[in-house]
Structure formats: structure tokens, C-alpha cells
Amino acid sequence: RKEVEQDPGPFNVPEGATVAFNCTYSNSASQSFFWYRQDCRKEPKLLMSVYSSGNEDGRFTAQLNRASQYISLLIRDSKLSDSATYLCVVSPSGSARQLTFGSGTQLTVLP
């Protein structure tokens, strides 16, 4: 079983739609959780951290369910510029600050 699993997609949605991505992780001791965005042939960029209470940043909402070891990302009112691959990222416990990356979910927002 992969440490971080994501549905690879692709998700093709019309502009203005709401889309949700899910991610599961296997290490119950994981401490920190993130969503990164990666445009085609570019580096990943931090989109948002995911907190236990859930957090929102504009059109983006992230949720964490520690009991089910599940993370989600909701994008409302999708824009063409949201087209990218979204990486679910988990940090195991310990002081090494290592990150484990999911393979990513590809989103294409269509006009």
C-alpha cells in the first residue's frame, strides 16, 4: 500500500464548478498535512496547509479526518487557472521534516 494515495484523475470540470479531491495516508503518526499545486513541467508550490479544524483560503477548503486518515481539498467556483495537478503531502512524525508526496490528481477546468 502506498503511503499517500490519491485518485489520479483526470478531473475535467466546467468553469464555475465545484470539485473535490481526496487523499488517504497510511501512517497514523503523521503530523503535518499539505496540498501543493504543480503546473505542467513546473515545480510544486505550496497551496495550503491542512489543520485538524479544517481551513479555508478563498475558494479553497481543506479538511483533515485523523480517525479515517483522510484529507480533502474542495475548490469552489473553478477558474481556468486552477488547471494543474494537486499533490497531497504528508509529514511523518519526527524531527527530520521529511515529506511524503502523493502522485497527484490532475484537474482541467474547461471553458
Partner 1 sequence: DGGITQSPKYLFRKEGQNVTLSCEQNLNHDAMYWYRQDPGQGLRLIYYSQIVNDFQKGDIAEGYSVSREKKESFPLTVTSAQKNPTAFYLCASSMFASHEQYFGPGTRLTVT
Q: Shortest gap between Cβ of 99 and partner 1 (angstroms)?
A: 6
Q: Which stretch binds partner 1 (CB under 8 A): 13-21, 38-46, 50-58, 68-76?
A: 38-46
Phi and psi torsions of 81, nearest 5°: -70, -10
Q: Shortest gap between Cβ of 29 and partner 1 (angstroms)?
A: 14
Q: Tell me the C-alpha distance between 55 and 53, whole Å.
A: 7
Counting every residue written for the chain, the total comes to 111
Q: Taking CB under 8 A as the rule, does residue 91 contact partner 1?
A: yes
Among 35, 44, 62, 64, binds partner 1 (CB under 8 A): 44
DSSP element (H, E) containing 25:
strand 19-25
Q: Taking CB under 8 A as the rule, does residue 31 contact partner 1?
A: yes
Residues 21-60: b if buried by 16+ CB within 10 A, e if exposed: bebbbeeeebeebbbbbbeeeeebeebbebeeeeeeeeeb
Among 64, 87, 107, 109, binds partner 1 (CB under 8 A): 87
Among 18, 45, 52, 70, binds partner 1 (CB under 8 A): 45
Binding positions for partner 1, rule: CB under 8 A: 4, 8, 31-32, 34, 41-46, 49, 87, 91, 96-104
